[in-house]
Amino acid sequence: MKYTDQDLNRIYWHSRRGMLELDVLLMPFAKEVFPTLDEENQARYVKLLSCEDQDMFQWFMQKTVPDDAELETIVNYILERVQPS
C-alpha cells in the first residue's frame, strides 16, 4: 500500500501514546523508519498501533513477548533499531 502524506501524518500521531517510554520509541520510528519499510512491516506496525499501551510497554521493556508472531516481528525490529548490537 502506498501511504499518502496524510496517512503518514495520521500514523505518526497514532504513534504518540502519552507514555514517555513508548513515545520515545514509536514517534521517531514512525517519522524516520516507517516510510522506508516494506509493505509487510508497515502493516505490522499499523497493527501494533491498535494494541494496548500496557501490552506494548511490556513488550518493549522485554518483560513479555506478543502472542502474535506478526507483532513479535515488528517489536523485535523496533528494538533492534534502537538497541543495535
Domain count, the chain: 1
Backbone dihedral angles phi then psi of residue 61, each to the nearest 5 degrees: -85, 0
CB atoms within 10 A of CB 43: 14
Domain that holds residue 32: 5-82
Grid cell locating 45 = 506496525
Spatial contact of 56 and 74, defined as CB atoms under 8 Å apart? no
Top pLDDT among 24 and 1 is at 24
Q: What is the CATH number of the domain that holds 46?
A: 1.10.150.250
- Determine contact, residues 32/5, Cβ cutoff 8 Å: no
Q: Kindly report, residue by residue over 32-64, the tens digit of the pLDDT.
A: 999 999 999 999 999 999 999 999 999 999 999
The three three-digit cell numbers of residue 30, written as one number? 514512525
Q: Is the pLDDT of residue 69 over 90?
A: yes
Q: What is the pTM of this model?
A: 0.93
Strand, helix or coil at 63? coil
Mean pLDDT of the chain, nearest integer: 95
